[in-house]
């Protein structure tokens, strides 16, 4: 498999519960990004990892959100005490190390979260 | 972050060329212009990018205005599989990488 994978693809949870999503990037990519997409809107940047280091976080990432990338491989995004406003598609992307001309980001299929 | 403006929707016929416009009047000198598209129930996929010169690849062409305040994505012969939301994006530097700043995109419908 050469693409970015995300798990689960769909998650339904009740308000107040915690949820965790996983992203497996393309194996040789050391850069990993999380975006959030609400219905009818374009994706919004949430956070970025270079290897295991989280180097950039958006103001959208409230203190209920936490992301990790242990050992610089897969990443997890956790949302604590979910709210209905957290309902969205959570997209993961990865890209190659610096020096690659395009800096193209490869996106996974996303995890659709519904908070009831 | 600098922003892009695109029409909400466009429609074209199969096997005809499609020109998708984008305005980015606040672009800075180092911002690359990227186009991604998103098919239904999928993540976005890269289409093409450029800085100043027009660019061609197997998927599309990108025409960039001389003042870089606008650009046009050209699909030379649209197929039904090109029906998607097309995003014109400015790639903004962040520490050690770039983030993609998406707008609302143009929903392209292709008629058979």
Token code pair at residue B11: 């429609």
pLDDT band at B101 (very low <50, low <70, confident <90, very high): confident
Token code pair at residue B16: 């005809």
Assess whether pLDDT exceeds 80 at residue B67. Answer: yes
Q: Which chain A residue shows the shortest CA-CA distance from B47?
A: A104
d(CA A116, nearest CA chain B) in Å: 21
Tell me, yes or no, if B9 comes closer than 8 A to chain A by beta carbon. no
Q: Alpha-carbon distance B17 to B12, whole Å?
A: 8
Q: Which chain A residue shows the shortest CA-CA distance from B95?
A: A55
d(CA A109, nearest CA chain B) in Å: 5
Per-residue pLDDT, B103: 85
Per-residue pLDDT, B92: 79
Mark A36-69 as b/e (b = at least 16 C-beta within 10 Å).
bbeeeebbbbbbbbbeeebebebeebeeebebeb
Q: Which residues of B touch A31 (CB under 8 A)?
A: 96-97
Q: Which chain A residue shows the shortest CA-CA distance from B85?
A: A42
- What residues 39-68 of chain B have any CB closer than 8 A to a CB of chain A? 41-46, 49
A52: left (phi over 0), alpha (psi -120 to 50) or beta: alpha
Contact check, Cβ <8 Å, A93/B43: yes
Give the tens place of pLDDT for each residue, A18-53.
999 999 999 888 899 999 999 989 999 999 999 999
Assess whether pLDDT exceeds 80 at residue B88. Answer: yes
Per-residue pLDDT, A98: 64
Assess whether pLDDT exceeds 60 at residue A102. Answer: no
- Inter-CA distances, A30 with A23, A27, A47, A100, B44, Å: 13, 8, 14, 12, 19
Give the tens place of pLDDT for each residue, A79-96.
999 999 999 999 999 998
Q: How many residues does chain A have?
A: 116
Per-residue pLDDT, A100: 57
Give the tens place of pLDDT for each residue, A50-71.
999 999 899 888 899 999 999 8
Mean pLDDT over B12-23 rounds to 96
Mean pLDDT over B95-100 rounds to 81
Assess whether pLDDT exceeds 80 at residue A97. Answer: no
Q: Which of A32, A43, A91 to mutate to test binding with chain B, by most B CBs within 10 Å of its CB?
A: A43
Contact check, Cβ <8 Å, B98/A103: yes
- Inter-CA distances, B75 with B6, B81, B84, B94, B112, Å: 16, 12, 12, 31, 16
Q: Are B111 and B54 in contact (CB under 8 A)?
A: no
Assess whether pLDDT exceeds 90 at residue B1. Answer: no
Per-residue pLDDT, A28: 84
* E strand or H helix that includes residue B85: strand B84-94
Q: Which residues of B touch A106 (CB under 8 A)?
A: 46
Q: Alpha-carbon distance A44 to B87, whole Å?
A: 12
Tell me, yes or no, if B30 comes closer than 8 A to chain A by beta carbon. no
Mean pLDDT over B53-57 rounds to 91
Q: Alpha-carbon distance A90 to B95, whole Å?
A: 22
Per-residue pLDDT, A60: 83
């Amino acid at each position: 498999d050469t693409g970015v994978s995300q798990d689960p693809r769909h998650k339904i949870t009740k308000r107040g519960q915690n949820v965790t999503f996983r992203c497996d990037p393309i194996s040789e990519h050391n850069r990993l990004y999380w975006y959030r997409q609400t219905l009818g809107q374009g994706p919004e940047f949430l956070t970025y990892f270079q290897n295991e280091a989280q180097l950039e976080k958006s103001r959208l990432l409230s203190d209920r959100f936490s992301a990790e990338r242990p050992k610089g491989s897969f990443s997890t995004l956790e949302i604590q005490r979910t709210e209905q406003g957290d309902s969205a598609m959570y997209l993961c992307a990865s890209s190659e190390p610096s020096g690659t001309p395009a800096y193209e980001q490869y996106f996974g299929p996303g995890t659709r979260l519904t908070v009831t | 972050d600098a922003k892009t403006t695109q029409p909400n929707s466009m429609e074209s016929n199969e096997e005809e060329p499609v020109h998708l416009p984008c305005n980015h009047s606040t672009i800075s000198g180092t911002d690359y212009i990227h186009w991604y598209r998103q098919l239904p129930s999928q993540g976005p996929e890269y289409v093409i990018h450029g800085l100043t010169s027009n660019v061609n690849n197997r998927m599309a062409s990108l025409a960039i205005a001389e003042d870089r305040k606008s650009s046009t994505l050209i699909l030379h012969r649209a197929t039904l599989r090109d029906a998607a939301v097309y995003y014109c994006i400015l790639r903004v530097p962040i520490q050690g990488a770039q983030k993609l700043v998406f707008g609302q995109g143009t929903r392209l419908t292709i008629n058979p």
